[in-house]
Amino acid sequence: MNIPKSHPRFVSLSIREKIVKGYDNGLVAKEGLLAHGRGEAFDYLIGEKTTNTARAAINAAASALLSAHSPVISVNGNVASLCPKEIIQLAKITKAKIEVNLFYYDEHRKKSIAKSLKKAGAKQVLGTNPKSYRRISGLDSSRRIVDRDGIFAGDVILVPLEDGDRTAALKRAGKTVITFDLNPLSRTSQTADITIVDNIVRGMKLLVSSCKKSKRKRSNFNNKKALASALSEIKNNLKRRTSIA
């Protein structure tokens, strides 16, 4: 679809088109389309812009990634469709591995995602070689498969747009978990160490530039406080837009 630039919802519609294209190209699962819709709703609530809380979380995420021993970026179909360039830039700056890891397991889709990332410039993409498959405990069948050289061995894992159960399993495995999730109430948001409540399309760009500026310093980020403040931002945004405040 050709969306006119003058359309008041141009940005949101263009992002939606990326997901639809990702679906047409076999990268995005049907369920991924629904997950995107949920994200759009929460983006509306935060005002479709990066909040101060999200900025603080992005800076904390940059420090955590830069000071990691073996950082890993976990990529699903939505993430690969929305910000392939930024995934590659982030991997380069933080020396992170890229691993395709899907909630809705599908070997063929995994390969298509890996191929698309390589086409966009990624040197190495893990997660498609069955010989390297390892299991993380506490999850059923295919949902627990990770790559020996990626998530299995990693210490700081960026898992954007992830499922709550898998986030909890990564935590139990001793990983530091960073996520992008527009819903501050999701189990993923609540379970991660650092939750960036922002659209990944905006947030990944900022994470890349924060990593460029950042030193390997420890940050005293508190995710519980950050999520409470993300909810306040939603509340304040709604108050501003209603007369019953």
Q: Which residues bind ligand ATP (CB under 6 A)?
A: 35-36, 38-39, 42, 82, 161, 163-164, 180-183, 186-188, 199-201
Nearest residue to ligand ATP by CB is: 39
Two structure tokens written together for 15: 């992002």
158 binds, among Mg ion, ligand ATP, none (CB under 5 to 8 A by kind): none
Tell me which residue of 36, 39, 41 sits closest to 22, measured CA to CA.
Answer: 36
Residues 34-51 as b/e (b if ≥16 CB within 10 A, e otherwise) read: ebbeebbebbebbeeebb
Q: Rounded to the nearest 5 degrees, what angle is found at the Cα of 67, between the Cα atoms of 63 and 68?
A: 115
Count of Cβ atoms closer than 10 Å to residue 152 Cβ? 19
Least spacing, CB of residue 30 vs ligand ATP, in Å: 12
Nearer to ligand ATP among residue 75 and residue 200 (C-beta): 200
39 binds, among ligand ATP, Mg ion, none (CB under 5 to 8 A by kind): ligand ATP
Least spacing, CB of residue 162 vs ligand ATP, in Å: 7
Nearer to ligand ATP among residue 149 and residue 226 (C-beta): 226
Give dist(CA 73, CA 227) in Å, integer.
22
Give dist(CA 182, CA 41) in Å, integer.
9
Q: What residue has token string 């397991």?
A: 105
The yes or no reply on residue 191 touching Mg ion (CB under 5 A) is no
42 binds, among Mg ion, ligand ATP, none (CB under 5 to 8 A by kind): ligand ATP
Least spacing, CB of residue 127 vs Mg ion, in Å: 19
The yes or no reply on residue 186 touching Mg ion (CB under 5 A) is yes
Site stretch for Mg ion (CB under 5 A), options 83-91, 98-106, 182-190, 212-220:
182-190
Least spacing, CB of residue 117 vs ligand ATP, in Å: 17
Two structure tokens written together for 102: 């899907």
Contacts of 155 (CB under 8 A, 6+ apart): 68, 69, 70, 71, 175, 176
Which residues sit at the interface with Mg ion, rule CB under 5 A? 186, 188
